[in-house]
Amino acid sequence: MEGVAGDLDLGAVRAFVAVTEDLYFSEAAARLGISQQAVSKRIAKLESDLGVRLFFRSRNGADLTEDGRAFLPHARALVGIADQALEVLRGRRRSLRVDVLDTRLSSVDLIRAFHQTVGDVNVDVTTSNGLRSARRALVHGSLDAAFARVSGMLEEELRHVPAHLEPLHLLVSRDHPLAGRQQVEMERLSGSTVWMPGNVPDSEWAEFYRLLSDAFDVRIDTSGPDFGWEYYVEEIGTGGRIGFVGERMRVPWHPRTVQIPIVDPAPAYPCSLLCHRQNHHPVLALLISFIVTNFRPFDPRRQWLPDPDRAAFTMGPSLH
């Protein structure tokens, strides 16, 4: 069988095996659910690729040539391995692997709400350092989806859908002059310094707060070290600093801190769901549908978003 042209077409090999078992092209076509002409074309292509004749016609149907008999056990092995692989994948109830920046963020509440609506599905939540690691994991297939703010150009094989907007609150000590207010207008923070030691350079969230700083004359102090949320809240409670937190974020409770909504406008952190265009996990499609159904778009009368985020979050969910 010299001169084989490229890789074998598994569909053609499957047609070959079907003809050897059913003897007639018409019966093989019925078994495969295709036309007799399609079977003939597949056999002709296989013979062309192999450079040999596999069948000759007789009164008893299609009989194997010598080359056909030599190829048959290998063809059956190829089809058998393919069928086993498909069976493993179909029967495998792999968990949907979803990445979030932090399990205290509201994206986890969104995943939990989705899980409660779909019933018996498995979801594994992981944490990373945001878009930079998640996008690589999505491309390589170690993640099915990730929640992150989209910043810059994504790889062509990745797509994203707007998921939710997280209004910001101000975190202050109970001794702070703003502590007694029901809400804080954004203009009142002009000239203030907000402490955010977790703003990693070149991260998508650091970029968001840089744009917010430029828009409202608020200085972002990223000095650390960052010892975690408990330490952050405790430090705010001493009265020396103020901070930003998400409205629905599960901030550790501390008796010396107060969380106040920011208004006129309310800065909103944009979060999207990212996935690979060729990822066909059945639960992923359900998650995307859930997000699209529950999405609440950007309201320019009450909220603020950086210019790069506005188009996607104003128009509403659509796969990009």
- pTM of the entire predicted model: 0.72
Confirm if 230 and 154 have CB atoms less than 8 A apart.
Answer: no
Q: What is the largest CA-CA distance in the chain?
A: 99
CA 251, 253, 258, 260 torsion: positive or negative?
A: positive
Query: How far from the centroid of its chain's Cα atoms is residue 61's Cα?
Result: 52
Confirm if 110 and 51 have CB atoms less than 8 A apart.
Answer: no
| pLDDT, mean of residues 238-250 | 95
Give the pLDDT band (50/70/90) at residue 93. low
C-alpha span between 139 and 136 (Å, rounded): 5
Domains in the chain (CATH in brackets) are 10-91 (1.10.10.10), 96-315 (3.40.190.290)
C-alpha span between 141 and 139 (Å, rounded): 6
pLDDT at 3 over 80: no
pLDDT at 221 over 50: yes
Backbone angles phi, psi at 176, to 5 degrees: -75, 145
C-alpha span between 309 and 152 (Å, rounded): 10
Q: How far is CA 209 from CA 25, 128, 198, in A?
A: 67, 19, 11
Identify the DSSP state of 155: P
Q: Quote the pLDDT of residue 319.
A: 53
C-alpha span between 301 and 188 (Å, rounded): 18
- Give strand pairing partners of 163: none
Give the pLDDT band (50/70/90) at residue 203. very high
Q: Quote the pLDDT of residue 60.
A: 76
C-alpha span between 229 and 254 (Å, rounded): 11
- Give me 204's structure tokens: 């998508």
Q: Quote the pLDDT of residue 120.
A: 78
Q: How far is CA 128 from CA 131, 142, 250, in A?
A: 8, 12, 18
| pLDDT, mean of residues 72-84 | 88
Q: Quote the pLDDT of residue 23.
A: 86
Per mean pLDDT, which range of 2-16, 74-88, 166-180, 267-281 is the poorest? Answer: 2-16
Residues 6+ apart with CB under 8 A from 247: 106, 166, 167, 168, 169, 261
Alpha helices (H) along the chain: 10-22, 25-32, 36-50, 66-91, 106-118, 131-140, 204-216, 229-237, 282-294, 307-315
- Give me 53's structure tokens: 């004749």
Cis amide linkage into residue 265, ω under 30° from 0 = yes
